[in-house]
Amino acid sequence: MQLTLWTYEGPPHIGAMRIATAMKGLHYVLHAPQGDTYADLLFTMIERRDARPPVTYTTFQARDLGADTAAIFQDAVAQAYERFRPEAMIVGASCTAELIQDDPGGLARALELPIPVIPLELPAYQKKENWGASETFYRLVRALAGGTLTPRDGRRPLCNVLGPTALGFRHRDDLVEITKILGALGIDVNVIAPLGATPADLGRLGVADFNVILYPEIARAAGLHLQKTFGQAMVETVPIGVQATIRFVEEVAAVAGVDPAPVLAGAPSRLPWYSRSVDSTYLTDKRVFIFGDATHALAAARVAATELGFKVVGLGTYTREFAREVRAEAALHGIEATITDDYLDVEAAIQAAQPELVLGTQMERHIAKRLGLPCAVISAPIHVQDFPARHSPQMGFEGANVLFDTWVHPLMMGLEEHLLGMFREDSEFHGAAAPSHLPRHGVEAPVAVEAAPAPASVDPILVTWATDAEKELKKIPFFVRGKARANTERFARERALPLITVETLYDAKAHFGR
């Protein structure tokens, strides 16, 4: 472990809490000391839920460590059952309580409650939040899933949709799009889980013909269990982007034995046409750096490269369980994947890649702001502004429209700022110029205004410009002068040159001109 200012994922009990909060009729008793109860804010403040999570904390204190903390836990479980009367309960320990080894599962079983009680063993010092959510959902499915598949006999195909959770990035909106597509294909949805499901709903999972896995980090383990136990097929294509949505429709149709043509014929996304439109020619080959959870990072890389014409110069994830898939995708773009949960490593990778657009989490949003780069958020961890009141999916054909707007608009704003800067010294448009529609009699000749120097880099190697080099720099056309300055300073830093001379300026020009 290491101390850090920011973290991409919380401990695994936060993942368990996301499952419990997503479901109905399920209660989570968490053995945790006073101070580990901050997680409520994730849901009530960031996700803006109108009810607190269904979680009971033992909240033992330091003085309790010399007494019987096991009894405190059993009392909390009994009181939670009497107060909430859930259909099922999950029990576990927070990262701190794990150290005292009270065995929440055994203590809860000793109470012999008349409901299913599923113990969670979440190693807080080896695993993180997404793994905790996946393990919790798997344990629930393994303990509660049941039902028998009935013969088709003319009935419509039936599927389960697995993966959406509380605090998920646009999960609520993605479900609207996916259920709409499934309905248009003539497929009924049996259970959506964990979001909105009850323990009784999990008991009906085996009735479905197949499972749709929307977020593999959360639902792949549960899907594999259902495949092994009930023989249900899994659809794992993540429908983010037009091409992936088409593949998703075709795969679902093949599994369900239905015709995809009516749905594909009416594919309503504007992304393909917009990406070929005149305005988008300004975006071709823009360098993009992508970082996030594996599901969204992989999808973003494919959409960026094949649907918007961007050049992927950086790709990474903090989800180490999917590092192999991310490395394979990065290799297709001729780059090495960034697999890390340290935001400082990500910042260094962004600086090295020199992208023109960053697609990432709220951490990358802060990093990009410091570096003066356009940015769009594509993945958790996210903040309150990424839970909009409007419908804003990432999946399906409408999700592709949202992707185009979300990714392209920061670049267009960057283009606008570039044009303002480019014409800053123009004789008609500079700050001291009189309005062009007024007569010029008596108006003094405009004075050219030198563009402000670029902000100093955070690089520890400080460089200064010799006077003659500054004069030579001013001979470069103003609309590319900023880039020339930045490239020259980068060239000097890489070679540990503290003073930029005229020779340095032209050496840098030759170097970057190759």
How far apart, in Å, are the Cα atoms of 223 and each of 218, 228, 254, 303? Answer: 10, 9, 18, 26
Query: What is the per-residue DSSP string for 27-41?
Result: EEEEE-BTT--TTHH
CA angle 300, 383, 198 (to 5 degrees): 85
Say which amino acid occupies 398.
E
Q: In angstroms, how far apart are the furthest CA atoms of the chain?
A: 95
Q: Is 415 annotated as a binding residue?
A: yes
Q: Which pair of tokens denotes residue 259?
A: 């015709």
Task: Confirm if 375 and 350 have CB atoms less than 8 A apart.
Answer: no
Q: Which pair of tokens denotes residue 345?
A: 């490593």
Q: Is 414 annotated as a binding residue?
A: yes
Q: Is 482 annotated as a binding residue?
A: no
Q: Which pair of tokens denotes residue 358?
A: 């960053």
Closest alpha carbon to 269 in 300, 308, 230, 241: 241
Cα R_g (the chain), whole angstroms? 28
DSSP H/E element including 177: helix 171-184
Q: Which one of the listed residues 279, 405, 426, 459 is annotated catalytic?
A: 279
Buried b (16+ CB within 10 A) or exposed e, 158-181: bbbbbbbbbbbbbbbbbbebbbeb
Give yes or no: 279 in active site. yes
Size of the chain, expressed as the number of residues it contains: 514
- Active site residue ranges: 279
**Known binding-site positions for [4Fe-4S] cluster:** 36
**Known binding-site positions for substrate:** 414-415
**Known binding-site positions:** 36, 414-415
